[in-house]
Amino acid sequence: MSNPLSELSAAGVAVWLDDISRDRLRTGNLADLVANRSVVGVTSNPTIFQKAIASSDLYNEQLHDLTVRGVDVGEAVRAITAADVRDACDVLRGVYDASGGVDGRVSLEVDPRLAHETERTVAEARALWWSVDRPNLFIKIPATLTGLPAITETLAQGISVNVTLIFGLDRYDAVIEAFLAGVEKAIDAGRDVGNLTSVASFFVSRVDSEVDARLDKIGTPEAKALHAKTAIANARLAYERYEKAFATPRWKALAAKGAKPQRPLWASTSTKDPSLPDTIYVSELVAPGTVNTMPEATLQAFADHGQVRGDTIRPYYDDARQVFAALASVGVDLDDVIETLETQGVQKFEDSWNQLLGTIAQQLGRSGSD
């Protein structure tokens, strides 16, 4: 039976849930969303885990065992999050198999405090991959400058990667290059790359939040007319770069050896501005070969009243460029916007991770962190 989410899937957009919890897994809620809401993937982050663990008693038995064993806080976090992600991978295994390894993926993030440490990020990625031990896992690595070589090396070792915290077009180009280099290294090492996949998580609503605040300070009618236009324009131009990058002879040579393209993933798709439609960052970013990961409120809103109007990206490249030109004309420095957002993004993830450590430390009945 057709509904907005199934129509979105038919238009080439993979519907993913931006949430995970042991309650959601044990009650069968995730399985229900897969069966009835077209969900074919799951993303997680430290904030999501912190809220899940703080609000549920389903973690008590594992926390008790970890306490008795004297496990330190850092390893306890890894054990608890890996257990939930492993179970989610099992729920989505049928999707993974049916899609040939494209969907059915569940993402688990490396410690965000390692965002500027290449070697430790790779080591953490290997440890998490081993700990979850499911082929449909994605390891989330931030697209910082030091994260880029970690992305390449992790892929080279046959580990699928969700590249997170992408805000700008130039950095997205670097992410695509890191992906291509990683696949090439994996092939050179004799690895089968048929199940080696990746997504590039391009953050959306946070861009509008930052730019619109700057437009408000400028205060001119021309500036106010640009409200809520930057994020969608930015994502649309990212998709244009995706199209170009995966139409080159270099990519075609990798595809001939079984490689799958790195799909753009639209993240941060909940609407922060209450004056905007609550599904705007879904309905305005529809194109084949994309992923949209939504918190459940956005997913259910789209199921209720979302509209799929065909491709809402490729016909609007020129419009997007005009938005960029207009932003420059009113004095918005997009390069500074992107730098600010990346710095804030890494810091927010670090803060969430520290909160997660604190929650686990409290539950373990001791203080301190790893």
CA–CA distance, 143 with 10 (Å, rounded to integer): 30
Q: Is there a contact between 344 and 352 (Cβ–Cβ < 8 Å)?
A: no
Torsion (CA) 11, 281, 278, 32 in degrees, nearest 10: 50
Strands 263-267 and 198-203 turn out to be parallel
CB 147 within 8 A of CB 141: yes
Q: Is 51 a catalytic residue?
A: no
Q: Kindly give, in sequence order, each residue whose CB lies less than 8 Å from that of residue 236, ignoring residues fewer than 6 positions away.
A: 285, 313, 316, 317, 319, 320
SS3 content of the chain, % helix, strand, coil (to 5): 60, 10, 30
Contact (Cβ atoms closer than 8 angstroms) between residue 3 and residue 299 = no
- What phi-psi label fits residue 13: left (phi over 0), alpha (psi between -120 and 50 degrees) or beta? beta
- What single-letter amino acid sits at 320? A
Map residue 65 onto helix, strand or coil: helix
Q: Choosing from 51, 140, 185, 257, which is the catalytic residue?
A: 140
Distance CA 326, CA 322 (A): 6
DSSP class of residue 265?
A: E
- Of the candidates 353, 214, 312, 360, which has an alpha carbon nearest to the alpha carbon of residue 11? 312
Residue 209 class from Cβ within 10 Å (0-12 exposed, 13-18 middle, 19+ buried)? Answer: middle
List the catalytic residues.
Answer: 140
